[in-house]
Amino acid sequence: MHALTFGSVCSLLTLALAVPSHAADAKRETFGTLDDGAAIEAVTLTTDSGYTARVITLGGILQSMSVPDRDGKAEDIVLGFDTAQGYLDNPSYMGATIGRFANRIGGASFELDGTQYDIDANENGNTLHGGAEGWDKKVWTISKVKDGKTSASVTLAYTSPDGEMGYPGKVDAKVTYTLDEDGTLTIDHSAKTNKPTVINMTNHSYFNLSGHDGMTPILSHELMIPADHYTPVSDDLIPTGELRAVDGTPFDFRTIKTIGEDIRSGDDEQITIALGFDHNFVVGPVEGDGVQLVATLVDEASGRAMDVLTDKPAVQFYSGNFLDGTFAGKNDTIYRQGDALCLEPQVYPDAPNKPDFPSARLNPGETYHHKMVLRFRTDAAN
């Protein structure tokens, strides 16, 4: 047995102080392989305060997000799959990073500087979420993993070649997920191009704040969207170009209300067309470099609440209308209509074909940026 000297004690103290003690950790691990043999990685971000986010390299997907309820019990609040291949076999864009263009482009074409670009038509003659082989189906590369005292993050990168799905320009895209100790998940999207092109990136997570295991329908969730107008759609869900006032319609979420209150309003043609809500809500431009609140979602039963903030001028509210019970997700759970919703900040759908809509153009030498913030909290019981 060796006696501890003053010098050895000092050495041990120095060693202990040199070992970092993090309140937020990032763990990189294998998630699985695709049928073609491609390896998929995962990075799990964890905080001492009970929040956990897992991101996988397939599609830059948010595979899970665990949030405590008012009793401190953390549960996963996003839909998804237990295997990487599941995301390809059941393409509902669950948790995915969407590009090049989130939402829809009418007629699967647009004109830029006098040239017409015919892009991939993957929904009724239109383009949805970039096309049949959008960025949600690509394997991204982990470029940085970081942890620290107050936050942990992972950055993923993908290079989209010129002409992919018909879009012009080579695009270098990145997405960074940062989980803070206070329960804020920030999703930073960025892109650069070598030719003029169009870009509209967002995250397509399906949320149910009651928790994935034993979840209850989101019809009882309460939602607030501070938008005076929305963009009505034609029968194929392409915006007509009109900005319609929400006042006196089922689309008025300026005062918080349950999602189920107006989702079956058969006297509103827009609800009938979309089988519920699948519409772009106009929240207006953001001043400076900040973000603005575009939605608040509350599940009173669990006490979980989520604020959505963005630097983009709109948010798409999709009430999960096409979850039809034909496939199973995590823990072999069948996903049905009303099991989850999406809140997707973005520029307006079909913006490349609507000159009066905010532009989605990106030029060489410019950097596209979209900052999306999911701020989770626990509300006390009423």
Q: Which residue has the tokens 């997405």?
A: 175
Direct distance between the N- and C-terminal alpha carbons of the chain, in angstroms, rounded to an integer: 62
- Active-site residue identified among 75, 164, 222, 344: 344
CA distance 103 to 350: 8
Residue 22 catalytic? no
CA distance 89 to 314: 30
Output the six-digit token pair for 203: 């995250």
Q: Which residue has the tokens 């009970």?
A: 50
Rounded alpha-carbon distances, angstroms, from residue 379 to 71, 74, 339: 11, 14, 22
Rounded alpha-carbon distances, angstroms, from residue 170 to 24, 35, 61, 197, 367: 35, 27, 22, 9, 13
Q: 301's torsion region: left (phi>0), alpha (psi -120 to 50) or beta?
A: alpha
Alpha helices in the chain (DSSP H): 6-18, 84-89, 269-274
Output the six-digit token pair for 303: 């006490």
Instruction: Name the nearest CA neighbour of 285 among 358, 337, 185, 197.
Output: 358
Q: Are 98 and 202 in contact (CB under 8 A)?
A: yes
CA distance 40 to 289: 34
Output the six-digit token pair for 50: 């009970």
- Active-site residue identified among 189, 204, 212, 279: 204
Instruction: Name the nearest CA neighbour of 297 among 249, 248, 341, 242.
Output: 341
Residues 6+ apart with CB under 8 A from 107: 125, 126, 353
Q: Cβ–Cβ contacts within 10 Å for residue 250, how many?
A: 18
Residue 29 catalytic? no
Beta strand pairing call for 74-76 and 61-68: antiparallel
Question: What are the catalytic residues?
Answer: 204, 344
